[in-house]
Amino acid sequence: MTDGRFEPLVTNLRAAWARAYVRIFAASREPSWILTETLLPVIGMCAYVFVYRALGAPRAFEAFVVLGGVMMAYWLGVLWSMGTQFYWEKQDGNLEFYLMAPCSRMAILSGMAIGGVVMTSLRALSALALGLFVFRVPFDLAQGWTALAVFLLTLGSLYALGMCLASLFLMYGREVWHVAHALEEPVYLANGLYFPIRALGPWGWAAVSTIPLAIGLDAMRQLLLGPAMAKPILPVLTEIWILVGAVFVYLAVAVAMLRWTENQGKKRGTLILRHQ
Amino acid sequence: MASALSWRERLRPLRASAWLGFQIESNWSDPIVFAVYALAKPLATSLILLAMYKVVIGGEVSDPRFVALYVGNALYVFVNLLLVGLSWAVFEDREQYKMLKYVAAAPIGLVSYLLGRSLTKFVLATISAILVLLFGIFVLGLHLRVTPLSVLTLVAALGVGAVGIVAVGLVLAGLSMVFARQSMMMNEGVSAVLYLFCGVVFPPDLLPALLRPVALALPMTYWLEASRRALNVHGFSPLLTRLTDVQLAAIFVAVAFAWLVLARWIFGRLERRARAEGLLDITTAW
């Protein structure tokens, strides 16, 4: 440690923790947060369970909704707590501090991701608990550990995508608000959040090739509901490899985009220009 | 003349805040992005329901159950934009633009200002709902009765429905004034809760017996039923089908105006509290 070889690593880890700390602990200081960020959004998921009930669908379809509700929480976290975050930091006047800090921007983004995952997991767990204990959806946990591994891989790839979005949204300016909104329901549709992605036909492949949410969901459904019910588009192993690839590709793209956005912002003088 | 002038005076803040709302909603963003946002969301939700329906039933979309949930979903954009828009206006003006304190200090009053802001949302929601319904009729081939009388009934239902939606929105806006940044999530959450309770995509009869009275106390439940009847979609909810058209209309109007009176009182109380506790200019999100 004394020769300074590990100093950059330690600095980056500390920066990541510092950024994650704000998210993890600041939220707990406002107790009403639990109601507004966990219970209320989860209730929306129930409507789709009732739609399947109204249509007389087999109970396993309700499991589609619950899994979709869990993953939707993370997608919203990626959009609003990762993608738009640098834009908000700019609005708030914090972005210049990040740029001046002697640490990697990726360390800050990683801290945001870790803090975001912790916060979002509360909402996702609420969705899961509602599904398991209130709607009593039938999950087969024989391959639960593999499903957990797929879930973590999906999270990794989604948050890496969120890092790419952070640069993109920073560049986009105030239109980002509408873009982020436009990436909610259309993404739920394209990724088959509440139904087998196969129902979309060839259009399903468009989603599969861009956002790892569909691939992760498809693999988890196969593992927790069985291939017959999940109506998969690819074998689980292939989907796992796609997710691994997505993590590395999105991380590499995020690093490149972050550098490019920062350079462009510095040249144009827009990096700290608010309300742009 | 004095009376006319007084009306003009009264309408001026509404006009000004509606114009401001339009500028915020549209002028600051690329029209294409904005169109995608205003249309893609409700259309995507409708297509999600179509995919769910196709997966389960696999048949034609002419099934009255699907038509009913499609219509409910298309009209729900009014709740998403109008109701949630009222509290978003409070949140944005307080937290992001930091203008709420100036509006509160002006003689126009917060309610007039918020109603003006919601007018833009109302126009947007109307365009969005019409386009989604037209998509249903011309692309999906849904059988909806569209005659001058049905359109008139639909518009009348929307008029009363808008009163009810704005009333519930005022309660939410009042709560946004006294809540910290989590009001942002509360807006989204309440929209989801109402989607569950108002018989948008499934009949309120399916709700647990304990929760059914909540659905029946909301003006949106009756508005959606009235709109479905106007478009010749009957029998979605056995509970509401029992009501004759006149009974439905009477209950709908009574519930909507009861909410308006209650909401005005609640908003006033919450506004006084926000002023007393200095909450009109706190910033907790940015």
Q: In this complex, which of B41, B186, B202 lies closest to A40 when CB atoms are compared?
A: B186
- Put simply, the answer to whether B189 touches A55 (Cβ < 8 Å) is no
Q: Which of A61, A181, A195 sits opposite B41 (nearest CB)?
A: A181
Q: What is the DSSP string of A68-83?
A: HHHHHHHHHIIIIIII
pLDDT of res. A200: 81
Nearest to A196 among B55, B181, B203 (CB): B55
8 Å CB contact of A51 and B34: no
Closest Cβ opposite residue A47 in set B34, B181, B195: B195
For every residue of chain B, which 3-state class applies, written as one string? CHHHHHHHHHHHHHHHHHHHHHHHHHHCCCHHHHHHHHHHHHHHHHHHHHHHHHHHCCCCCCCHHHHHHHHHHHHCHHHHHHHHHHHHHHHHHHHHCCCHHHHHHCCCCHHHHHHHHHHHHHHHHHHHHHHHHHHHHHHCCCCCCCCHHHHHHHHHHHHHHHHHHHHHHHHHHHHHHHCCCCHHHHHHHHHHHHHHHCCCCCCHHHCCCCCHHHHHCCHHHHHHHHHHHHCCCCCCCHHHHCCCHHHHHHHHHHHHHHHHHHHHHHHHHHHHHHHHCCCCCCCCCC
Nearest Cβ partner for B40 among A56, A174, A186: A186
CB atoms within 10 A of CB B272: 10
Which residue reads 């009957």 in tokens? B234
CA-atom Rg of chain B in angstroms: 20
Residue B103: partners with Cβ closer than 8 Å, 6 or more residues away: B93, B110, B113
Residue of A nearest to B197 (CA): A47
pLDDT tens digits, residue range A216-235? 999 999 999 999 888 888 89
Q: What integer pLDDT is reported at residue A32 of this predicted model? A: 66
Return the pLDDT at B5: 58
**Closest Cα of chain A to B53: distance in Å?**
7
Contact B44 A174 (CB under 8 A): no
Q: Which of B189, B192, B206 sits opposite A50 (nearest CB)?
A: B206
CB of B259 within 8 A of CB of B221? no
CB contact under 8 A, B51 and A189: yes
Instruction: Work out the angle between the directed axes of helices B31-56 and B64-75 (0-180°, nearest 10).
Output: 160
Calpha distance A195→B58 (Å, rounded)? 13
Contacts of A61 in chain B (CB under 8 A): 52, 55-56
- State the count of interchain CB pairs (< 8 A) between A and B: 138
Q: Find the closest chain B residue to A47 by CA distance.
A: B196
Q: Is the pLDDT of residue B31 over 70?
A: no
CB-based contact, B33 to chain A, within 8 Å: yes
Residue B234's CB is within 10 A of a number of other CB atoms, namely 11
The yes-or-no verdict on residue A1 having pLDDT over 60 is: no
Q: How many CB atoms lie within 10 A of CB B207?
A: 20
What is residue A205's predicted lDDT score, i.e. its pLDDT? Answer: 72
pLDDT tier, B2 (very low <50, low <70, confident <90, very high otherwise): very low
Contact between residue B170 and residue B111 where contact means Cβ atoms under 8 Å apart: yes
Q: Residue B152 and residue B229: Cα distance in Å, rounded?
A: 12
Least confident span in B15-24, B96-105, B222-231: B15-24
When comparing pLDDT for A58 and B261, which is higher?
A: B261
- Has residue B64 got a pLDDT over 90? no
- Please, is B62 exposed, middle or buried when counting C-beta atoms within 10 Å of its C-beta (0-12, 13-18, 19+)? exposed
Which pLDDT value is given to residue A120? 85
Tally the residues of chain A.
276
The confidence band for A40, taking pLDDT boundaries of 50, 70 and 90, is confident
> In this complex, which of B37, B182, B190 lies closest to A32 when CB atoms are compared?
B182
Spatial contact of A82 and A159, defined as CB atoms under 8 Å apart = yes
Q: Is B46 on the interface with A (CB under 8 A)?
A: no
CB within 8 Å of A152: residues ≥ 6 apart: none
What is the rounded average pLDDT for all residues in chain B? 86
Q: Does B138 touch chain A (CB under 8 A)?
A: no
Q: Is the pLDDT of residue A174 over 70?
A: no
HSE value, Cβ hemisphere, 13 Å, CA-based, for B121: 24
Q: Do A54 and B206 touch (CB under 8 A)?
A: yes
Q: Is the pLDDT score of B24 beyond 90?
A: no
B40 contact A CB<8A: yes
The whole-angstrom separation of Cα A28 and Cα B221 is 36
pLDDT tens digits, one per residue of A115-157: 888 888 888 898 899 999 999 988 888 999 999 999 999 999 9
pLDDT at B230 over 90: yes
**What pTM does this model have?**
0.84
d(CA A169, CA B122): 28
Residues of B in contact with A45 (CB under 8 A): 192
Highest average pLDDT, of A1-15, A25-39, A149-163, comes from A149-163
Tell me the mean pLDDT in the region B225-249. 94
Q: Does B188 touch chain A (CB under 8 A)?
A: yes
- Average pLDDT on B167-181 reads 88
Helix/strand/coil for B84: helix
- Look at B188 and A62; give whichever has higher pLDDT: A62
The mean-pLDDT minimum among A25-29, B39-43, B201-205 falls in: A25-29
**Mutate which of B87, B99, B202, B236 to test chain A, going by most A C-beta atoms within 10 A?**
B202
Please check whether residue B150 is in contact with residue B232, taking contact to mean a CB–CB distance below 8 angstroms: yes
State the pLDDT confidence band at B1, using cuts at 50, 70 and 90: very low
Q: Which residues contact A162 (CB under 8 A, 6 or more apart)?
A: A77, A78, A79, A81, A82, A83, A113, A116
Cβ B36–A61 below 8 Å, yes or no?
no
Its sign, for the CA torsion A145, A149, A154, A160, is positive
Can you tell me the distance from the alpha carbon of B213 to that of B209, in angstroms, rounded to the nearest whole number?
8
Q: Does B28 touch chain A (CB under 8 A)?
A: yes
For residue A275, the model assigns a pLDDT of 58
Shortest distance between the Cα of B268 and any Cα of chain A, in A, equals 22
Candidate from A148-157, A253-262, B209-218, B228-237 with smallest mean pLDDT: A253-262
Residues of chain A with C-beta less than 8 angstroms from the C-beta of B41: 181-182, 184-186
Average of per-residue pLDDT values in chain A: 84
Weakest mean pLDDT among A142-146, A195-199, B5-9? B5-9
Interatomic CA distance for residues A48 and A56, integer angstroms: 12
Q: Which of B54, B185, B283 to mutate to test binding with chain A, by most A CBs within 10 Å of its CB? A: B185
Pairwise CA distance, residues A113 & A119, whole Å = 10
- Residues in chain A with CB shorter than 8 Å from the CB of B57 are 55
Residue whose tokens read 């790419």:
A164
The pLDDT of residue B160 = 97
Residue A102 has pLDDT above 90, yes or no: no
**Residues of B in Cβ contact (< 8 Å) with A89:** none
Residue of A47, A57, A179 lying closest to B33 (CB–CB): A179
